[in-house]
Amino acid sequence: QVQLVESGGGLVQAGGSLRLSCAGSGRTFGTYAMGWFRQSPWKEREFVSAINWSGGRTYYADSVKGRFTISRDNAKNEVYLQMNSLKPEDTAVYSCAADAYRLRLRTNSYEYAYWGQGTQVTVSS
């Protein structure tokens, strides 16, 4: 089992940057693929990005490609989401999640077994 805690959210102006962190517990953290999802009051939860267990493969939603970067440090049990050139439409609660499936990166939230509580990101125009 993995417990996840996000941090790093906040209020930022459009064009600014934020770096989200996701701290995981347990010795098996490094065996999980990790994903970031976001949800705003007016939209369903949507996939943002994912990274495989080793950090060698990443995948991004088209809406964030070129602006966001996912990375991980298994020695620290942490995953990061660097968000640049933020837009008001990026405003949402961002959550990290862990997926035990290792053959490919998945984008459906129901496929992820463990979730953090989320951190609010607000981008003002």
pLDDT per residue as tens digits for the range 6-16: 999 999 999 99
Whether the predicted pLDDT of 27 surpasses 90 = no
**Inter-residue contact 88 to 123 (CB < 8 Å):** yes
Those residues whose C-beta lies under 8 Å from the C-beta of residue 75, and which sit 6 or more positions away, are: none
DSSP letters for 22-41: EEE-STTGGGSEEEEEEE-T
The predicted structure's pLDDT at residue 42: 86
Rounded distance between C-alpha atoms, residue 60 and residue 27, angstroms: 27
Digit-coded pLDDT (tens) for 45-85: 999 999 999 999 999 999 999 999 999 999 999 999 999 99
